[in-house]
Structure formats: C-alpha cells, structure tokens
C-alpha cells in the first residue's frame, strides 16, 4: 500500500499508481464509515481550500465545501467572473498567490482546449496541491466516487462489465470528461469496459490507447461499440450519459444537427432489462430526465445515482486528507 501522497495534484487518476488509488479507495471507505458513526475526523484542521469555478456546479461545490468542513478546515467559494482573471491575472499568478494563501486549490474549467491547460498552469506555479474539479478532458473525483460505488454495489470489480455509453441530451453540449475518466480508471481495476457511442462522439485517441494499455496490464478488456443495445446486453453497470461531439465539431449548430440524429438513445426500462438482472444504472447528474434517461430508470430499483452522488463527498475527502 502506497500511502505517502502529500503534496500531489489530482488532475487525472492516470497520474496515480494502482497502489495509490487503492489507498484513496481505502481511506474513502474509512471516512464514509466514520461519518456514519459520527466519529470526528478533523485531519485538515485550520487548512483552507480555494474552490475556483469557471462553470456552474451543484454536487462538486457542495461536496468539496462540506468535505473540507467535516475535515476541520474551510473551503472558499470563488467564481472566476468575480475575480480579476478577466483583467489579466495569469495562471502563474493564480498558482503563486493562491498557493500562498490556501492549502489546496480546486478548479473547474471545462472550456474546450483551455480548461486542462489552465489547471496545469496553476499547478505548475502552486506550492500547494491542485485538484481538478472537472476540465474538458477529466473529472477524476467523479470517477473515484463512481469506482467506490461500483465496489460497494458489486464487490470486487475484476471481471465485471461496465457499459460507458453515450445517451441523447438536448439541454447543453456536455463535456467528455466523465467517459474519458471512466475508461481510464475502470480499466485499471480489471473491469471489462465497453465504450458505446455513435461514430461522431469519439473520444481522444490518446485516452483510448491508454485505456487499452490499462486493460492489458490489469487483465480487463476495453472495447468500442456503436450499437447502444448490444452495448447494454448482459452488462453489470449501465453508465449512460450524454457528451458533445467535440472531436467532430465545435460549432453549436452542427453539434445540434449531429446530436439530434440520435434522439432515440435514451436509457429506458426496455433497454435496462437487457442488462443483467442485478445491473445498476449510474449517471453523474445533472441528467436530462426523459430525454437522456427515463424517470422509471433513474428513480427505479436499479438506480445508484444518489449513492454515487454521496460518494463524491467521501472520495474527495480521501484525496484531500491524503494530499493537503
Ligand atoms: N456530477 C457533477 O460534477 O455535478 P455538478 O456539475 O453539479 O458539480
């Protein structure tokens, strides 16, 4: 077990060893148990986390803020539009200065081709750890919470099948950070990972290659499919959510034209019945109800979405307690 993670940034789980990820899971389970029992766990007393948001959030903000308070510290909510970033604060200045005020810097910035570079720029200049609260490529804390949920619901993930599928949504063009992070993390834990999407919704080749290599090293499998129903058949985990056709187009009108061709890609009761009898349905939320997934599925007996959302709290507390 590799336990010394002090000072490490969490930008993608791919930068952590399997031993280190096992430690994070172990601590997340322990912190969940401690909270259930009402046991104090103020491991970050007097420490302060900056939470810098360039994009809206419900769960990420709530769980990081609550998590810091439960660990005995404090989290400062900062919206980019109320800072001087638009008037010239650079990533180096943000890293240098916030790294001196705060004990950790968490950032959400999902703009295509901008967000990840911004987070990396701040991390390069910060003396304190930087946490990716979602960029255009990765949502590592979501994937860690999802892994915790799969372990709780399914036991040892080795040999279990997860279907990471695209689904239709009309509300907005969602980042591809969740499917990227899922295929990278679940292949590290020996799962059979099926990535399912219409052809225009492909993910970056470098992440597909990394997922393939992870699967090879950890005795899992990684397969890309384009048939929604074949992808769900006999699976253990249905993780069906929308993302934008970002490698095909970044033009909003073209995005909508492409996306609207696949409005029948909804996770509904008929499709859930194709999965194993005890399969779970997962979604990071927010979901487009009755567009992306039916009420019957997301509120139904297979749904794990509330436990999944809860585990954001425990997984993030584990990362912060180990690194800050
Ligand atoms: N799943 C997730 O990241 O939710 P928010 O966008 O509400 O933070």
Pairing between β-strand 48-53 and β-strand 104-109 as defined by DSSP bridges: parallel
Q: Is the CB of residue 57 below 6 angstroms from any atom belonging to ligand 1?
A: yes
* Residue among 51, 55, 58 whose CB has most ligand 1 atoms within 8 A, to mutate: 58
Sort 17 into a burial class: Cβ within 10 Å, 0-12 / 13-18 / 19+.
Answer: exposed
Tokens, residue 157: 């993930």
Per-residue model confidence (pLDDT) at position 1: 81
Q: Is the CB of residue 283 below 6 angstroms from any atom belonging to ligand 1?
A: no
Give the residue whose CA is nearest to atom 4 of ligand 1.
59
Q: Is the CB of residue 221 below 6 angstroms from any atom belonging to ligand 1?
A: no
* Residue among 63, 286, 304 whose CB has most ligand 1 atoms within 8 A, to mutate: 286
Q: Is the CB of residue 117 below 6 angstroms from any atom belonging to ligand 1?
A: no
Which pLDDT tens digit goes with each residue over 239-264?
A: 999 999 999 999 999 999 999 999 99
Cis peptide before 92 (omega within 30 of 0): no
CA 243 remoteness from chain centre: 13
Angstrom distance (rounded) from CA 187 to CA 219: 8
Q: Kindly list the averaged pLDDT for each block of 10 residues, start to end, along the chain of length 324.
A: 95 98 98 98 98 98 98 98 96 98 98 98 98 98 99 98 98 96 98 98 98 98 98 98 96 96 98 98 98 98 98 99 98
In the chain, the domains with their CATH numbers are 13-138 (3.40.50.1370), 142-309 (3.40.50.1370)
Q: Is the pTM of this model over 0.85?
A: yes
- H helices present in 169-226, as ranges: 177-186, 205-217
- 56 Cβ partners below 8 Å, 6+ apart? none
CA 111 remoteness from chain centre: 16
Q: Is the CB of residue 181 below 6 angstroms from any atom belonging to ligand 1?
A: no
* Residue among 64, 65, 134, 135 whose CB has most ligand 1 atoms within 8 A, to mutate: 134
Q: Specify the ligand 1 atom closest to the Cα of 139.
A: 3
């Amino acid at each position: 077990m590799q336990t010394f993670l002090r000072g490490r940034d969490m930008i993608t789980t791919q930068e952590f060893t399997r031993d280190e990820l096992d430690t994070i899971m172990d601590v997340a389970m322990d912190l969940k148990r401690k909270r259930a029992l009402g046991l104090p766990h103020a491991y970050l007393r007097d420490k302060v986390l900056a939470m810098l948001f360039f994009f809206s959030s419900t769960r990420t903000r709530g769980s990081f803020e609550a998590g810091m308070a439960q660990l005995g510290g404090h989290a400062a909510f900062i919206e980019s539009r109320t800072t001087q970033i638009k008037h010239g604060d650079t990533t180096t200045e943000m890293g240098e200065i916030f790294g001196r005020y705060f004990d950790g810097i968490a950032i959400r910035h999902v703009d295509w081709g901008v967000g990840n570079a911004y987070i990396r720029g701040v991390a390069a200049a910060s003396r304190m750890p930087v946490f990716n609260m979602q960029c255009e490529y990765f949502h590592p804390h979501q994937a860690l919470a999802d892994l915790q949920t799969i372990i709780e619901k399914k036991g040892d993930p080795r040999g279990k099948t997860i279907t990471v599928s695209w689904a239709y949504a009309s509300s907005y063009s969602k980042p591809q950070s969740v499917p990227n992070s899922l295929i990278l993390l679940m292949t590290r834990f020996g799962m059979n990972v099926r990535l399912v999407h219409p052809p225009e919704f492909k993910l970056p080749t470098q992440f597909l290659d990394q997922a393939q290599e992870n699967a090879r090293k950890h005795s899992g499998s990684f397969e890309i499919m384009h048939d929604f129903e074949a992808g769900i058949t006999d699976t253990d985990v249905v993780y069906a959510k929308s993302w934008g056709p970002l490698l095909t187009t970044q033009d909003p009108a073209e995005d909508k034209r492409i996306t609207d061709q696949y409005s029948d890609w909804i996770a509904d009761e008929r499709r859930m019945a194709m999965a194993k009898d005890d399969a779970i349905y997962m979604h990071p939320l927010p979901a487009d109800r009755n567009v992306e997934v039916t009420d019957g599925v997301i509120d139904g007996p297979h749904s794990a979405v509330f436990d999944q959302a809860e585990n954001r709290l425990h997984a993030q507390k584990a990362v912060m307690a180990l690194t800050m």
